[in-house]
Structure 1
Amino acid sequence: MTTNDGDYWDYIFGGTGKGIPLKAKPIPVVAITTTAGTGSETDPWAVITHEINREKIGFGNEDTFPVLAIVDPELMKSVSPKYTAYQGFDALFHSVEGYVSIGANLMSDMYAITAIENVSKNLSKAVEDGNDMDAREKVAFGNTLSGVVETVGLCTSQHALEHAMSAYHQDLPHGAGLIMISKAYFTHFIEKHVCDDRFIKMAKVMGMEDAKEPMDFIKMLVKLQKECGVSDLKMSDYGITPEEFEKMAKNAMDTMGMLFTCDRAQLSIEDCVSIYSASHK
């Protein structure tokens, strides 16, 4: 907005955004990441919440990539265990989503599977001991790779579903929301058998070398959540009620509808409500 007139929401696509093309290029951005979660140091995306309209939408284009990224895990030492976990799972899911999306390709697969391995094998260590710099470095590395996955691959509707949750309940951390719905979300696609081999591959790099079934991925996902102390997160603790599920599902499709086109099996409103319902505690 330093080089373009009007309001930021004038340029947002989706929801109540006006979708006006940028008239001038933005100023160059140098990204110095102090967390390991968003991958924004290697992708063009920024996510803003319109607090009044209850819309949480990403924006970016080829001109919003950082021109320089500085990734120093020493700068992440002060992040609390809770937020280390929330951010780490955001990084993990960027690559998990990319790996099972319709946009998976040779390059995104290379980055995604390496990111999944590094984050999943080191996140609990970083949560337990924030001064474990080897673990911090590997989680940060996975996060940076996941940012690339968002660029050369695709995220899926899991992110859209969570954006709706934290658009209505703005004290809900994004990573916590993703964790809450992750088991039901990925189980839905496993039951559709959209890419059994990919779920098995992820389970293997997460530590189950003899994985044979797609649901082994869910076993490893739940195991990691328990190790990080986030397996018992509750929607109800943030005021989310079942009566909101349909409203949130419609919000997700209206504001971040493009992500639903990246799924290997299309979700209906009813599917989204079912995922929310299965996740609710």
Structure 2
Amino acid sequence: MSNFNMYVPTRIVFGRGRLNELHKQNMPGKKALLVITNGKSAKESGALARTEEELHIAGVETILFDRIQANPTKTVVMDGAAAAKENCCDFVVALGGGSVMDASKAIAFMATNPGDVWDYINGGTGKKMPMQNQPLPVICITTTAGTGSEVDQWGVITNEETNEKIGFGGYDSLFPVLAVVDPELMKSVPPAFTAYQGFDALFHSTESYISTYASLMSDMYALTAIENVGKYLVRAYKDGSDMEAREHMAFANTLSGAVMTISVTTAEHSIEHAMSAYHPNLPHGAGLIMISKAFYEFFIERHACDDKFINMARAMGMKDASRPEDFITMLVQMQKDCGVDNLKMSDYGIKPDEFNKIARNARETMGGLFTANPCEMKHEDVVEVLRKSFK
């Protein structure tokens, strides 16, 4: 396909030390709900104090909301929206990784719209209600190289009552107005999470590249992101202070977010979302890694898009790649080099007798992504991917 629609209005401030320039940017309001995780990283790294200082220099008052989990829930989103309303916040600042940025978009939406966030979810038990009021503006300051959420209009929210993990948003008004991508903020990310996040960025691009919604424009973003991950992820994993590697992974991450606004990811994400909906302690990137080999082999065995797999293998560093299987070779080698080749579903409580339930959940909650697969993937095919991936 050569047709595409593209709208990525986020102002991006990219580079080492650029958080120090936050106060120079146009602020969309005077009082911000500053959203971080319920962990210690933003506080201990100094990123929180620096962000607060920058906002205060800019004349912005801040209210801290520090309750976001690794898989943000609708309950916490509603609590965040209540905090924004109670404190009369007129914009939201997300300081963190994908979970914080995803949750912040939903918080900004629910701070101005009535009801429950699940009223506006389009999949599963969501009520598919349209947006009634414009959300609060959002500024994203990403501290990880994983989701690319700083430049897209989507988030993923978990309904802990129904075990559903579904994409939320899609409105132009949910694009962040500003994204600060400062690789220095990523230095403190531990090796394992550097790998999880890096593979998430990789899969956003590989999925969007083989997607039925791919185009000339999305291919350009995807292949460039894949090249940067292929060259720099292992370096960032092995030495977190390697700022060249961190910078290129941050670049790949931002590209992987942009590519999802032009193309669409595949059912790999639907399947993982179902896995972590039932097992919220499973990091999203880790779940994707677990199923990735079997997932991509499914399409290679059916010769769904041989040329694209060869192109991805070349982008990942095998310049003489000539077979689609070469992509699997490069994927497995990178996972070995990052120490994530032996991740086990069983370590996170996943059992084989759940595979049917997970496969069904994936289609019921985010079935739309199955239409992006380069060939049909039936229920039993999903079960088989899970079976082959199980350790």
- TM-score (normalizing by structure 1): 0.99
Separation (CA, whole Å) in 1 of partners of 2:172 and 2:369: 18
Which residue of the other structure, out of 68, 74, 83, is the alignment partner of 2:178?
68
Q: Which has the higher contact order (CA 8 A, sep 6+)?
A: 1
Identity of aligned residues (%): 64
Taking the TM superposition and a 5 Å limit, the aligned residue runs for 1:17-28 are 17-28=126-137
Separation (CA, whole Å) in 2 of partners of 1:2 and 1:35: 26
Correspondence 1:143 to 2:253 = yes
Deviations 1:86-120 (A, max 9, x none): 01100000000011010110100000000000012
SS at match of 1:63: helix
2:125 counterpart residue number? 16
Separation (CA, whole Å) in 1 of partners of 2:358 and 2:199: 22
Correspondence 1:5 to 2:114 = yes
Which structure 1 residue ranges, 5 or more long, are not aligned? none
Separation (CA, whole Å) in 2 of partners of 1:76 and 1:68: 18
1:246 counterpart residue number? 356
Separation (CA, whole Å) in 1 of partners of 2:348 and 2:310: 33
Q: Shift of residue 177 of structure 1?
A: 0.2
Separation (CA, whole Å) in 1 of partners of 2:186 and 2:167: 24
Query: Cα RMSD (Å) of the superposition?
Result: 0.6
1:32 counterpart residue number? 141
SS at match of 1:59: strand
Deviations 1:198-246 (A, max 9, x none): 1001101111111110000000000000000000000011111110001
1:50 counterpart residue number? 159
Deviations 1:171-200 (A, max 9, x none): 000000000000000000011111100100
Separation (CA, whole Å) in 1 of partners of 2:310 and 2:374: 16
Which structure 2 residue ranges, 5 or more long, are not aligned? 1-109
Correspondence 1:211 to 2:321 = yes
Q: Answer 1 or 2: which has greater strand percent.
A: 2
Correspondence 1:110 to 2:241 = no
SS at match of 1:208: coil
Correspondence 1:168 to 2:278 = yes
Which residue of the other structure, out of 237, 248, 255, is the alignment partner of 2:365?
255
Pairs aligned (count): 281
Deviations 1:30-88 (A, max 9, x none): 11111111100111111111112100001112111111111000011111111110011
Correspondence 1:83 to 2:193 = yes
Deviations 1:240-270 (A, max 9, x none): 1110001000000000010001111111110
Separation (CA, whole Å) in 1 of partners of 2:121 and 2:255: 26
Separation (CA, whole Å) in 1 of partners of 2:219 and 2:280: 33
Correspondence 1:220 to 2:291 = no
Larger mean CA deviation between 45-54 and 87-96 belongs to 45-54
Query: Highest Rg: 1 or 2?
Result: 2
Partner letter of residue 110 of structure 1? M
Partner letter of residue 47 of structure 1? V
SS at match of 2:129: coil
Separation (CA, whole Å) in 2 of partners of 1:32 and 1:170: 24
2:81 counterpart residue number? none
SS at match of 2:180: strand
2:380 counterpart residue number? 270
Moved over 4 A (4+): none
Partner letter of residue 150 of structure 2? E
SS at match of 2:320: coil
Separation (CA, whole Å) in 1 of partners of 2:353 and 2:161: 20
SS at match of 1:46: strand
